[in-house]
Chain A
């Protein structure tokens, strides 16, 4: 593989569409946290799916080996991407399909519109697809007089509710059964007014509502879970049969697929068809998976297209430390286990891709310099639950930290605080540098203090003063600036009167090390002393 070296490699263009936060995450989270119904719905749904996932995952003795294999196959696919894409194109074309390439969201939308126009149709049925959500295809088509009907139940709920998806697997996860019934009663013309909120009844209402659409649709639009380079096969994994309806009945089928979805071999499916269903819906296997290769004469759509989408994927690929985010198979396990997602829901992330994977993928697609996405990498306590749950072992916490580093590099002031370490070493000049933030100043100072035992020891001599500043109840309940974030819900204990370092020094003086057995250096305080006990206790 040859690479043109021009000194600084060009950064591929960013992606556009529904992959950006519209406001900083903390602000959006603040609003969503205030929605008690949302919190309850999300808590219920995420806990249900967590238990199911754990149950079916623990059934497989080789789960970790499957995760390793999934990760290795994706790594291989990314490293061979030019070759695999070309092979996919050849195979898909040889079997009667047409391949289109789209640099970004706008180009993909234009291609799809053109293909629909060629059929003479002004409406399409859609299978749930993250790629078309990402590029905003529905809105684009609607503006141009083409009606796009979502057929997945959750997408239908979102569409009828004039709402936005908040989860990649269950876009309406933020709605409970009663809210869904109310949407159906309001928006479905032929619905039975006696509709109850029993999930089965709601599913039946959706069936009745969409039946005629399926049977008469001329054009369908789908995404793809996999594209197999070896033979040009595409695959869609689903549950309800709406996918099969769209992939089978219309004459024209247009699939929009991100370039990272390509897999080398058909055999690779044996790994992903075990990883994906168990990780996403917590089932041993999803009810329906359709695999098609170009055109099958006499069976299914005869006019078959695929649009291969970049839209920032090459930008993500160019980031060596972030590119494994492209391994994502869109299972949603990471968001289902995420304590942050569980409390804020998906809308807080702004992008089509919420939760932990969204917090890395969105800024990787747009570049973390994109102001609107720069708060996303911080939307995590780095608890690591997402990494454990990820079926292809994307180290999300590590990439979050990497992107935080890129963000700090890109825009925070460098000349911060006393000793704000080594600004002279900043080679990546030329980027926008803002005024130092409180965080810059605080962490710059902390760097100075914490990079030497002597300096830390010196500062610790001030502990009695800090202790005196604490209230009579021995705690600090109000701090200014950044600290206010802490004290909004947490006290800080009164500091101890003496650091460990200082205590240790005295102890060494009082009882020099015994020679020989090296056992004790004079009794350490037995248990905790009354002094030591109250110190540092946040009570």
Chain B
């Protein structure tokens, strides 16, 4: 008997004739909506991100390019192919290195870059979580990981209040990365220290 058949047989035997448990959705009495308005969402997200030691600024939609430029000026950085052109000041073009699934940068090349700029798919205010889903404006997972400085644009309409609202907007079959602040560890005496293997600096630009 194959391992598969044997294990599945053991499971069936172990469960015996007991009826399958009811679907728990009927029991779901936890919150599924935050009911927060845009101002409250932005305020909460900023508070939570700053708590993680991310640098956050909230800018009008028209000022995103300037904010991105301020963060990346003088740096050589990766940018995903689908990153909105209007968010990238032409003055940065020279040092912007394009990446896509079709034409991926080598890991060592990424390691040599100073930074990366991406957009984002969904952000969850209550937990200060930004989700990247590999769309063309966010790029391959490697580009937002290897460079030491991540500049991330969060369009205000992608902000939700709580975790269930976030997952409701996500397609789990896409490669998802949930980011809550710069990389950190609590492995030494359970005290949180920011900055380990992932980007040590996280800049968030919330575009209203």
Contact = CB atoms under 8 A, between A and B. Distances in A.
B6 to A, nearest CB: 6
A66 B30 contact: yes
B93 to A, nearest CB: 24
Contacts of B85: none
A3 B15 CA distance: 8
B50 interface: no
Nearest to B170: A266
B11 A199 contact: no
B195 A291 contact: no
A284 B17 contact: no
B27 A69 contact: yes
A101 B175 contact: no
Interface string B76-115: 0000000000000000000000001110100110010000
Contacts of B190: 45-46, 48-49, 52, 170, 173, 281
Contact of A300 (B100, B167, B175): B175
A152 interface: yes
Interface string B148-178: 0000000000000001101110001111111
A172 interface: yes
A101 B4 contact: yes
B127 interface: yes
B7 A310 contact: yes
Interface residue range, chain A: 35 or more
Given A76-B24, A240-B198, A245-B197, A82 B163 contact: no
A72 B173 contact: no
B186 A281 contact: yes
Given A12-B14, A270-B164, A240 B172 contact: no
A252 to B, nearest CB: 15
Interface string A123-143: 000000000000000000000
Contacts, number: 285
A65 B30 contact: yes
B186 A239 contact: yes
Interface in B46-65: 48, 51-52
A346 to B, nearest CB: 14
Interface in B3-23: 3-4, 6-8, 10-23
B28 interface: yes
B63 to A, nearest CB: 28
A4 interface: yes
Contacts of A72: 21-22, 24, 27
Nearest to A176: B189
Contacts of B142: 248-249, 299-300
Interface in B97-145: 100-102, 104, 107-108, 111, 124, 126-129, 134, 140-142, 145
A76 B23 contact: yes
Interface in A277-319: 277, 281, 283-293, 296-300, 308, 310, 314-315, 317-318
Contact of A79 (B10, B20, B187): B20
A224 interface: no
A244 B140 contact: no
Contact of A244 (B51, B145, B184): B145
Q: What's the dominant secondary structure at chain B's contact region?
A: loop
Nearest to A281: B186
A317 B195 contact: no
Contact of B195 (A2, A12, A76, A200): A200
A44 B189 contact: yes
Nearest to A318: B14
B98 to A, nearest CB: 14
A521 interface: no
Contact of A151 (B6, B126, B197): B197
Which residue, B6, B11, B188, has most C-beta atoms of chain A within 10 A?
Answer: B188
| 8 A-B pairs closest in CB distance | A241-B198, A298-B101, A72-B24, A318-B14, A241-B197, A314-B10, A240-B196, A285-B127
Given A153-B188, A267-B164, A298-B101, 18 more contacts: A3-B13, A62-B29, A66-B30, A68-B27, A69-B27, A75-B21, A78-B21, A95-B173, A200-B193, A200-B195, A231-B173, A273-B167, A285-B178, A287-B198, A298-B102, A299-B142, A314-B14, A317-B11
Interface of A: 1-4, 9-10, 12-13, 41, 44-46, 48-49, 52, 61-62, 65-66, 68-69, 72-73, 75-76, 78-82, 85-86, 89, 95, 100-103, 107, 151-154, 157, 170, 172-173, 176-177, 180, 199-200, 202-204, 206-207, 210-211, 214-215, 228, 230-231, 233, 239-242, 244-245, 247-249, 259, 266-267, 269-271, 273-274, 277, 281, 283-293, 296-300, 308, 310, 314-315, 317-318, 323
16 contacts: A66-B30, A79-B21, A101-B7, A199-B189, A200-B193, A210-B197, A215-B108, A244-B141, A249-B107, A270-B168, A287-B184, A288-B179, A293-B174, A298-B140, A310-B7, A323-B14
Interface of B: 2-4, 6-8, 10-24, 27-31, 48, 51-52, 100-102, 104, 107-108, 111, 124, 126-129, 134, 140-142, 145-146, 163-164, 166-168, 172-193, 195-199
